[in-house]
Structure 1
Amino acid sequence: MKRALAGALMFAAVLSGCATSSTSTTSQERPATVDELLDGVEIPYERFTLDNGLTVLVHEDRKAPIVAIAAWYNVGSKDEPEGQAGFAHLFEHIMLFNGTEHIPNLIEPLREMGATNWNGTTWFDRTNYFQTVPTPALERGLYIESERMGYLLGALTQERLDAQRGIVQNEKRQGDNQPYGMTFYRILERLFPEGHPYRHSTIGSMADLDDASLEEVRQWFRDNYAPNNAVIVLAGDINVAEARPLMERYFAQIPRGPVNTPAAADIPTLSARIDDTMHDRVANTRLYRTWVVPGLAHDDTLELDVAAQVLGGLNSSRLDRILVRDEQSAVSVSSSVLPFQRVSMFFVTVDVKPGVDPAAVSARLDQIVAEYIAAGPTEDEIQRVATQQVFASVLSIEQVGGFNGKTVALANSAVIAGDPNFYERNLRAYGRITPAAVREVMGRWLTRPTYALRVDPGAREPYQEASATGRPAPDNRPPTAQPRDPMPEIGAIADLDFPDVQRAHLRNGIEVVYARRTAVPITYVAFDFDAGVSADPQGAFGTQRLMLSTMTSGAGGRDAMNIAEQQERLGATIGANGSLDRSALTLTTLSANLALSLDLFADVVQRPDFEAREVARERDQQLAAIATEGTQPNGLAQRTFPALVFGADHPYGRPSSGLGSQASVLPLTRDNLVAFHQTWIRPETARVFVVSDRPLNEITRALNARFGGWQGAAAPVGQKNFDAPIPAARSRIVIVDRPQSPQSVIYAGAVLPIRGSEDTLTINAANEVLGSNFLSRINTEIRERRGWSYGLSGVLSLRENQVPYIINAPVQADRTGDSIRVLIEQINAFNSTNGVSASEHVRTINGNIRQLPGSFETAGAVLGALRSNQLYRRADNYWESVASRYRAMNAADMDAAARAVIDPSRFVWVVVGDASLVRPQLEGLGLAIEVVPAS
């Protein structure tokens, strides 16, 4: 479904147990060293191989009654021959969503058994499928995975191929439709010569997808998806003695197939620097510098990764300090290594500040890079990179599965690097890297000619669309099936045991809401203030957002770079963000460094400097972000919709991004930010939430030492006004004209007579059938049956006060009108004669009960539940109580809840797309149409 970056977990690590430290939480002289943080880092696993060649890795983790299943195949887009660009990704969709010889729809049993974190991804080097299941459903999960591997071809029909082909082409349109969405294709074409396995993108070409015949696709499966070309990782509530007989039962009968030897690929070098220019409907010029460098397991790749992080990956990076903060010629920078099996790509990007000469910034970028290559990083910079890698790894692998997790660390290491221990070896190697080694490796690889791409604002180059004709003649052979036992039954699944919630108060009255999780040595702290975007002064929208971003740019006499560097040394992240209802300051830190992290956090929360130069710089950044939001399809929809349904004067009648407008942000000064902070960011509006491996008394003592004496300003406490009348519903279509859009984004809905603090369990269950679940009526009809979209949904967008129902549907441009018509038909049918069916009721109720253990596997998920329970006035044991309420919920209850409030005759339809193409499609819908320009 998603094209994930295989290299994201390149250096992932896992803690087999909770690290301990004698460091006091109220006094700490130095950060823990990388070696201290790495003590005990490993993922113990056992390995066995079936007679058919299937490799199985098993990691035992009994923290929750769940097991992650991850099947990784040694095939990706680099293995595609000429004329089949996109086959690996297309087949990922076929294997993930289509039925098999014994299961008509693979997603339905996953949903009914409560699977979480399920998906599939394709990248240049591998294809994978994964799901986390309750332990009593493990056998069913393995049965489903074995169906993909051994019992798929008999069920692959022309109709199913065509459906997934259309979905994949809409996934491509959705990515291409974004700002800078076409640049990666150009970069690959310029860096790699004709015939190189990495020259074409994983998403593929429209022409090759058009031409894919059923027999070609079937042969692709036969050649690549055999058990001897796969690794399956099981992680969680299981051991190897339990796993082996299950794997034998469900996979041993699948025969071996051809061995896929991954396509060989050299590391190309450009003969001379290439300077290139593209145009796109973007807000600012973006500069790229790209080199092809060695692959994942090469000896130089770790040093190149460190080089990239120091140059533009850390918050304190060289490029950030020079171009963004000191010279203020750029609004954002980045640098990273994108690692593959045979090669990697070293990327540098710079978004030029509007109004600054891009040519001058380009020349300055080249000078900075050249000086950095010659001088190399410092020891302190390398140690900060190492600490951040440990921190990021601990966070990512708290889960047993999913897009990150332990299964990914093991499987990626085994399939791409050939060694399941690769992740651990690399992580430990960070602490041994020297400045001289990084300098030497940069001199070897980054002094070669670079590909320098510049993307300027303007009309896009011509876009390649799918062909309306010319597809292969249908192959109408009927489905066949091999004999097999039916799916195993699911055992009894215990109700959720949510962590006990404890409460305490600091000396100044701030309430602490706490839960303990000991799986990893991480502490999460969130200060939620009763403010948010809805607290922005009328006419000064964007004040809250600018205040929050400036808080982390200087506090307690520390400047922005000092704050960034200290976080990196500690393995900590301080965030400042606002929702519509709350402003939040958050800290996530390695618990070994909790005391020093809280010292830094206390400065940011209580003592922001709001230094005038930083205010001006952050204001320019926000103005650039506003311009960028105005080029993004979803950004335009979300800027347009709120005022239409809530009214411009309502606190919810503004975009949830909180960016404001050019007119409202430009006049903001330091005084505005200080006033907002004094009015809203204060003990009287605060509540602090903590999830940690440390006990509550220790946490409370540490917080009291830093926040217990904090007193609010003399200014009155802020009060939000929700008395502004909401305009009467008037159904109509507003087209936001965005020329050259291969997709239209439909963003529609209405305000419901519901508050977020009311009980929404039943209506949300009903809406899973209608709109919010992958198997929902609207997604099934428009994505799966018609292939007009990569995916769409309708959701109750919970707010503390009044809640809107919002449909978000990106659809191919030539089906915009048809999609709106189908959406209306589906909702009206649901509201009249075609309510929740018996099978939908069983699937929804069972799935919601059974998914609870997997939903709160991580400390971050528990923290989110604590915060949402408070915001929506739920009891601390809310999530433990929902299972019994689901069991008592019948289909009639669900129908009544949805029909009482979801009414498409009240919807406002915002369509972001090419008005010249879209408007004629909408004329026959019987709704008033207005066209407004994209801004």
Structure 2
Amino acid sequence: MRLRSVSLAALLVAMSPVAVLAQTQAAPSAATTPQAAELPAAPVSQLVSEVNIPWTRFQLDNGLTVIVHEDRKAPVVAVSVWYNVGSKDEPAGSTGFAHLFEHLMFGGSENAPGSYLGRMRNLGPSNLNGTTWFDRTNYFQTVPTPALEQALFLESDRMGYLLGEVGQDVLDLQRGVVQNEKRQGDNQPYGLVQYARLEALFPEGHPYRHSTIGSMADLDAASLETVRNWFRENYGPNNAVVVLSGDIDEATARPLMERYFGSIARGPVNTPAEADVPTLPAPVVQVMHDRVATTRLSRSWVVPGLLSDDAVPLSVAASVLGGLASSRLDNILVRDEQTAVQVSSSMQDFHRVGFFDISVNVKPGVDAAEVGRRLDAIVADFIQNGPTDEEVARVATQYVSQRIQSLEQVNGKANVLAEGQLYAGDPDHYKKELAEYASVTPAEVRSVMQRWLTRPVYDLTVAPGEREAYAEAAASPSGAAPVPAAEIQRVERMPMPEIGQVPDLVFPSVERATLSNGIKVVYAHVDTVPVTRVGIDFNAGYAADAANRLGAQAMMIDLLDEGTTTRNANQLAEEEERLGASVNVGASMDRTSADLSAVSANLGSSLTLLADVVRNPAFAPAEIERIRGARLAALASEATQPGAMAARALPPLIYGEGSPYGRSFTGTGDTATITALTRDELVATHDAWIRPDNATIFVVSDLPLSQVTPQLETAFGDWRAPSAAKGAKDFAAAIPAPTNRIVLIDRPQSPQSLIYGGAVLPVSGTDDLLALNAANVTLGSDFLSRINSDLRETKGWSYGVRGTVNTLEHRVPYIVNAPVQANRTGESVAALIAQYDRFLGAEGVQPNELERTINGNTRSLAGGYETSGQILGALRSNALYGRPDDYQATLASRTRALTAAQMDEAARRDIHPDQFVWVVVGDASVVRPQLEALGLPLEVRPAAQ
């Protein structure tokens, strides 16, 4: 299967030369693995019949459309507000305005001044955020039912009474934040591709030609009145859809919506910009260079949008070609010919148009031009002959299964209803899509490909090298010469409603069973959707690697689902897709895990697949060689990514190389180990750690434990431990005395620096960290934390800053993650140190911060354990950290009992910024003088180290 991410830092997959494997033990190859019997699966029609979101709809006199979906599974309500305006609706000279207002609308409103997020934090929301895209802007939060009225007051105030809080200072600050958001994206490998693609595919003046983040020059040039007028023209109630989903019904919703939204004046009607589907007059071939580890080839076409009858067949085509794990491109280029290391194909459908994209990362040392010719031949053959019936059926089953699972959250259902209403005028539009997936034929897929993918293509190659010059965001917003804006006449509304009593979390009862071979089963019953989630945790993880074999665990994990003794990698992928199941293997620092998500109708067959992956890996020589190349490529890729570079550098600096935690948090190890690993070593790693006497099974299901246990017994009950000794981790090595210093990793051409600092705390994950984490809400982990408020919301130097107590089983680290604009790197380190010194000195948790933390941490619990996945995670963390089964149920009362003094004591006892090692990834020619001025010991390293 496609290389998955098994790291704590984002990894892009690329390749480097493959070493020769010393074959010491025979194993079936991928090509000769015998085909196991096909597992029984429920028909897709049965799955489709289980997808239903009942709703009611009404409209206020001002044109606001309201949709209500009742779901009483938890005392929470999702409030989802979708505005009928996105970047495609921006005229020339005003690009980026829709996205800018996403930021401005979090800055407070006339009757609720100050941070919107600060007020919402007091409500205890989950899923709180906002997004902007080509076609829409949306804001969403899931709140406890007693907090619903205050949430509606706040949402309605920023819809109808915002502009009095949008002054010149607020506008200038948020322009700076947006610029740093742009830098953060641009600073990643391949970060400039989106701009090139849009400019190549769309002619001048086309609504989809500019990126959603827009032109920094346009934002800088905008006057306050121009920006305000954009809001007046587009954000009226008649251009919005509000969905209330969860613990509510229409009879309750109607008077609430009238009370809080009914008085907002109707605005101008925004008719979404019309946009044709352009065709290039001739193929466009472009080559870009970037600081990347591997050459990437892409092919792109503009195709019809989501309301077209061609959208679903095109999406099916993309999945068969390069979206499924069993895709054509995976099988040919990655598995068989091994000329590529990662492939993908996708159909992104928007309101008016869609993008059909193909991407191939070329294996280093292979002729990229030859791979490009082979890619084009495969695509041409696929267009000519189309998919098979079985391929189409697998796509349909996978899509329906994923849709079912996405509807577990009330916010997920709210988004589906809102999107259907906004674009199609029909909240049930998702049913039309499901029916199309269930009925689409290979002939229809072939027909739409021949209609749309035979047109001229945009052919882009991104090759390793120095990044060409591009329009970088200015070092600071210049701002238009301030022009006096008309005074806003504020309208006083009714008082903000109070929040009612929020009930404590009711966590599902935990049940237990034991299989005949001794494996413990931990179970919770959740019947929101007909889905079962299974997690098998092995006491291993990246910390299980021997110091001279870093990366062995990750490489062994990658091979588990690359072929078993009865199924090769493609057969495994096909079975998953046919069952609508998802099997994933991965690791954290402390645990190696195998996860299954399955529709319950197919649980037995899905467990058979999970057991085959865990118990019977083939470690086929050809697959070892291929995955070896992928692992080496991941290492090469890490050397191009700021986050991965920092995540590799910091742990040995703070833990020491002798600690099982003193290695890269990415888990990918080192080149020498990956090059030298033999099949015998991989088999031995599996035998030592992936075994029944080292495993615990966690299950959350709509099926009762009495039905699940026999199926687990069938899949795992006869599994016996090998004769080899079980693995053990050694944490006896002393952690070195901390040395406060800066390590600068030179990454030229970086418009932004990543500050990644921290230290090992004198506590472990098995300790009671409640007070420490509560204190850190104020200090580092919340949007309104001291450090984020300073660097983002006051200074505008960053898109977001966070300090986190990273809970591990043993000694835990405190890590600060702060991407900042390059010319403010030194000042940002100084500002961070100052914030920590003040908080840990005389300026600890203040009364308003205490109230916000306690309210937010307790009121958010119901939304935090709304889904089976969240509950599964709680079961696993309770086991890992030695917590009782009722840990989550007691969190509210224990949190309410905390005092500011207890929080301050915990933080001052454990966090010592004078012990921090600061890793900075940035352009040394820009950053080094700034860091030298701080007076801390400074070491400069090249990026490749």
2:579 alignment partner in structure 1: 570
**How many angstroms apart in 2 are the aligned matches of 1:469 and 1:684?**
60
Match of 2:649 among 635, 640, 656: 640
Match of 2:594 among 585, 592, 604: 585
1:362 alignment partner in structure 2: 372
Please report how far the alpha carbon of residue 471 of structure 1 lies from its aligned counterpart in structure 2 after TM superposition: 2.2
1:127 alignment partner in structure 2: 137
2:559 alignment partner in structure 1: 550
* Alignment partner of 1:628 is 2:637: yes
Please report how far the alpha carbon of residue 470 of structure 1 lies from its aligned counterpart in structure 2 after TM superposition: 4.5
1:474 alignment partner in structure 2: 482
Letter in 2 for 1:704: E
SS at match of 2:536: strand
2:20 alignment partner in structure 1: none
Please report how far the alpha carbon of residue 903 of structure 1 lies from its aligned counterpart in structure 2 after TM superposition: 1.1
Match of 1:329 among 320, 324, 339: 339
**How many angstroms apart in 2 are the aligned matches of 1:758 and 1:28?**
48
Please report how far the alpha carbon of residue 481 of structure 1 lies from its aligned counterpart in structure 2 after TM superposition: 2.5
| Contact in 2 for aligned 1:28/1:596 (Cα 8 Å) | no
Letter in 1 for 2:424: A
Letter in 2 for 1:830: F
Please, what TM-score do these two structures have when normalized by structure 2? 0.95
CA deviations on 1:672-726 (whole Å, 9 max, x unpaired) are 1100011111111111100011111211111111211211111111111111221
| Contact in 1 for aligned 2:312/2:437 (Cα 8 Å) | yes
Please report how far the alpha carbon of residue 154 of structure 1 lies from its aligned counterpart in structure 2 after TM superposition: 1.2
2:425 alignment partner in structure 1: 418
Task: Note the 1:72-91 alignment, pairs <5 A.
Answer: 72-91=82-101
* Alignment partner of 1:445 is 2:452: yes
* Alignment partner of 1:682 is 2:695: no
2:407 alignment partner in structure 1: 397
1:108 alignment partner in structure 2: 118
| Contact in 1 for aligned 2:111/2:493 (Cα 8 Å) | no
Match of 1:525 among 525, 530, 534: 534
Please report how far the alpha carbon of residue 475 of structure 1 lies from its aligned counterpart in structure 2 after TM superposition: 4.8
CA deviations on 1:710-766 (whole Å, 9 max, x unpaired) are 111111111111112211100110001000001100000000100110000000000
1:763 alignment partner in structure 2: 772
**How many angstroms apart in 1 are the aligned matches of 2:298 and 2:310?**
22
* Alignment partner of 1:703 is 2:729: no
Please report how far the alpha carbon of residue 595 of structure 1 lies from its aligned counterpart in structure 2 after TM superposition: 0.8
RMSD of the alignment, in Å? 1.2
Change (3 A) 1:714 1:470: closer
* Alignment partner of 1:718 is 2:727: yes
| Contact in 2 for aligned 1:101/1:480 (Cα 8 Å) | no
Please report how far the alpha carbon of residue 29 of structure 1 lies from its aligned counterpart in structure 2 after TM superposition: 6.1
Please report how far the alpha carbon of residue 485 of structure 1 lies from its aligned counterpart in structure 2 after TM superposition: 1.4
| Contact in 1 for aligned 2:316/2:445 (Cα 8 Å) | yes
2:850 alignment partner in structure 1: 841
**How many angstroms apart in 2 are the aligned matches of 1:355 and 1:462?**
27
* Alignment partner of 1:428 is 2:435: yes
| Contact in 2 for aligned 1:96/1:119 (Cα 8 Å) | no
**How many angstroms apart in 2 are the aligned matches of 1:470 and 1:40?**
55
Please report how far the alpha carbon of residue 474 of structure 1 lies from its aligned counterpart in structure 2 after TM superposition: 2.7
**How many angstroms apart in 1 are the aligned matches of 2:631 and 2:90?**
43
Please report how far the alpha carbon of residue 98 of structure 1 lies from its aligned counterpart in structure 2 after TM superposition: 3.7
Change (3 A) 1:469 1:518: closer
CA deviations on 1:42-76 (whole Å, 9 max, x unpaired) are 21110100000000010000100000000100000
* Alignment partner of 1:155 is 2:165: yes
| Contact in 1 for aligned 2:386/2:445 (Cα 8 Å) | yes
Letter in 1 for 2:630: Q
2:34 alignment partner in structure 1: none
Please report how far the alpha carbon of residue 785 of structure 1 lies from its aligned counterpart in structure 2 after TM superposition: 0.6
**How many angstroms apart in 2 are the aligned matches of 1:105 and 1:575?**
39
Match of 2:910 among 901, 907, 911: 901
1:198 alignment partner in structure 2: 208
**How many angstroms apart in 1 are the aligned matches of 2:158 and 2:451?**
44
2:550 alignment partner in structure 1: 541
SS at match of 2:845: coil
**How many angstroms apart in 2 are the aligned matches of 1:615 and 1:65?**
49
**How many angstroms apart in 1 are the aligned matches of 2:687 and 2:156?**
60
**How many angstroms apart in 2 are the aligned matches of 1:144 and 1:282?**
44
| Contact in 2 for aligned 1:532/1:578 (Cα 8 Å) | yes
RCO (CA 8 Å, sep 6+): is it higher in 1 or 2? 2
Please report how far the alpha carbon of residue 836 of structure 1 lies from its aligned counterpart in structure 2 after TM superposition: 0.3
Please report how far the alpha carbon of residue 798 of structure 1 lies from its aligned counterpart in structure 2 after TM superposition: 0.7
* Alignment partner of 1:231 is 2:232: no
2:70 alignment partner in structure 1: 60
**How many angstroms apart in 1 are the aligned matches of 2:399 and 2:213?**
29
Unaligned runs of 5+ in 2: 1-36
| Contact in 2 for aligned 1:98/1:160 (Cα 8 Å) | no
| Contact in 1 for aligned 2:183/2:473 (Cα 8 Å) | no
| Contact in 2 for aligned 1:282/1:458 (Cα 8 Å) | yes
| Contact in 2 for aligned 1:100/1:106 (Cα 8 Å) | no
**How many angstroms apart in 1 are the aligned matches of 2:112 and 2:123?**
17
**How many angstroms apart in 1 are the aligned matches of 2:807 and 2:51?**
39
Letter in 1 for 2:805: L
| Contact in 1 for aligned 2:176/2:477 (Cα 8 Å) | no
| Contact in 2 for aligned 1:102/1:486 (Cα 8 Å) | no
Please, what TM-score do these two structures have when normalized by structure 1? 0.96
- The more displaced of 188-197 and 423-432 is 423-432
* Alignment partner of 1:830 is 2:866: no
1:785 alignment partner in structure 2: 794
**How many angstroms apart in 2 are the aligned matches of 1:749 and 1:480?**
48
Task: Note the 1:208-247 alignment, pairs <5 A.
Answer: 208-247=218-257
**How many angstroms apart in 2 are the aligned matches of 1:654 and 1:428?**
49
Identity of aligned residues (%): 58
2:277 alignment partner in structure 1: 267
**How many angstroms apart in 2 are the aligned matches of 1:469 and 1:163?**
8
2:7 alignment partner in structure 1: none
| Contact in 1 for aligned 2:533/2:700 (Cα 8 Å) | yes
| Contact in 1 for aligned 2:792/2:799 (Cα 8 Å) | yes
CA deviations on 1:233-283 (whole Å, 9 max, x unpaired) are 000000111100000000010000100111111111011111100000000
1:15 alignment partner in structure 2: none
SS at match of 1:538: coil
Match of 2:673 among 664, 675, 693: 664
Letter in 2 for 1:856: Y
Please report how far the alpha carbon of residue 476 of structure 1 lies from its aligned counterpart in structure 2 after TM superposition: 6.1
**How many angstroms apart in 2 are the aligned matches of 1:603 and 1:503?**
24
**How many angstroms apart in 2 are the aligned matches of 1:398 and 1:476?**
49
| Contact in 1 for aligned 2:420/2:427 (Cα 8 Å) | yes
SS at match of 2:650: helix
SS at match of 2:596: strand
2:610 alignment partner in structure 1: 601
Change (3 A) 1:741 1:29: closer
CA deviations on 1:73-127 (whole Å, 9 max, x unpaired) are 0000001111111110001110123444433221122111111111000000000
Please report how far the alpha carbon of residue 28 of structure 1 lies from its aligned counterpart in structure 2 after TM superposition: 10
Task: Note the 1:271-286 alignment, pairs <5 A.
Answer: 271-286=281-296
**How many angstroms apart in 2 are the aligned matches of 1:835 and 1:236?**
38
Letter in 1 for 2:423: I
- The more displaced of 198-207 and 100-109 is 100-109
SS at match of 2:176: helix
Match of 1:867 among 876, 879, 894: 876
1:345 alignment partner in structure 2: 355
Letter in 2 for 1:457: P
CA deviations on 1:133-161 (whole Å, 9 max, x unpaired) are 00011100100110110010111111111
Please report how far the alpha carbon of residue 207 of structure 1 lies from its aligned counterpart in structure 2 after TM superposition: 1.2
| Contact in 2 for aligned 1:529/1:681 (Cα 8 Å) | yes
Please report how far the alpha carbon of residue 479 of structure 1 lies from its aligned counterpart in structure 2 after TM superposition: 6.7
**How many angstroms apart in 2 are the aligned matches of 1:479 and 1:107?**
23
1:257 alignment partner in structure 2: 267
SS at match of 1:895: helix
**How many angstroms apart in 2 are the aligned matches of 1:479 and 1:866?**
52
**How many angstroms apart in 1 are the aligned matches of 2:517 and 2:262?**
64
2:462 alignment partner in structure 1: 455
